[in-house]
Amino acid sequence: MTESESQRVVRPTLRCLIADLGQEVGPPELRAALRTATEDMAADATYLLPCVLTDATHLVLDKANLIATDDATNRERIETITDRFAIKVKTSDRRAALWLDEAGVWWLLAAGRRKDDGPGDFYRELERFSEDSTPIAPSAADARYLRLEVAFAEECESERAANGLVLGALLAAASAPGTQAEVTVFGASVSISIVPDDDGLAVLELSWEFVQFDDQDRFPMDVLAMVPGKDNLDLWDYLPPRKDTDSPHAWFTYVPQEWVDHLATTAELDDLLATVEDWSPPNPSSDGSEHFSHRARASVVMLAYVTGIEIVGLCGARVVAHRDYEKFPVCPKCEESLALLRQLGRPEAQA
């Protein structure tokens, strides 16, 4: 993300977006969605376009963002509009009206073309709204859509935070088999334990106690799906209470011992890399690093699972974390680095 892209604050009103900018707007997925946006919004009150409206791109929006984010810029009032301080946006032959509302939200009210004061000239057209610019002002629908966008962003953020907490508890449980790792997500207290079983398998158990009844809609699916490689409910079984003190909300699945070792090593790496100074990854081999399962520290692995971003493995290879890593053999370079780190971090253990 470049500096200018991170500074986008101007939202086109829905009317301006659909009627004035329409098929000139980017990104392409937004432009495509705009063709049916009016119908889609009428049919579904929670309909959201494919990107937040401040990310919509267009010549006048790019210029409007520059005006809005640079306090030193000359903000020229559109004099014909008398009932609000609308600002001129001029770039090539495009013209638009920008406005800052009382809540601090920047709106692109309308856009058009300069036609040298002739018929259809943008600022001349605006004279219709001289006394009353309500028809181009943000409407109740714009306010509602903005609230929906904010709520959705908060929802995604809370989902990511909960996912990170669950993964952290999984790592703790894998590091200490047989013990309970506790975490509070979506208003429930969640317990996670991993108990080694026979035949190289382990029983992974998740149970929870609700604090408030309202929070139950996330369970079990949303929470079980946060377990790497186990995001399908079919892989889980309900566990009836064995004694009175057991949670009535318990689920279990079997995981291979390698899965447990992988998580335990990931957690261990945080410790090792914290104690070993000046360790940096060796140069990665370029040959088929995507066919190996790599080792990376817990904080990085969590970030990778939650956001899907590319991370750097212990061997230095850049990889996107996948949840079905068990299909791939562990990267020999990562294993080498791990052995070295263990030697460096725990010299007494090698004696």
Residues that bind Zn ion (CB under 5 A): 294, 313, 315, 317, 331, 333-334
What is the per-residue DSSP string for 144-177?
HHHHHHHHHHHHHHHHHHHHHHHHHHHHHHHHST
State which residue, 240 or 288, has the beta carbon closest to Zn ion.
Answer: 288
Alpha helices of 35-100 — where are they, by DSSP H? 37-43, 59-69
Q: Which is nearer to Zn ion, 230 or 333 (CB)?
A: 333
Q: Within 10 Å of residue 245's Cβ, how many Cβ atoms?
A: 6
Q: Which two tokens stand for residue 344?
A: 């460096």
The number of residues making up the chain comes to 351
| Least CB distance to Zn ion at residue 22 (A) | 48
Residue partners of 275: CB distance under 8 A and separation at least 6: 345
Select 281 or 345, whichever has its Cβ closest to Zn ion: 281
Nearest to 331 by CA among 319, 348, 344, 346: 319
Of 89 and 331, the one with the shorter C-beta distance to Zn ion is 331
State in angstroms the smallest separation of the CB of 267 from Zn ion.
18
Residue 284: CB minimum distance to Zn ion, A:
7
**By C-beta, is 200 or 329 nearer to Zn ion?**
329
CA nearest neighbour of 283 among 343, 337, 341, 342: 337
Write down the least CB distance from residue 256 to Zn ion, Å.
20
Q: How far is the CB of 332 from Zn ion (least distance, A)?
A: 8
Q: Nearest distance from residue 324's CB to Zn ion, in Å?
A: 17
Nearer to Zn ion, 15 or 333 (CB): 333
Sign of the four-CA dihedral 71, 72, 77, 82: positive
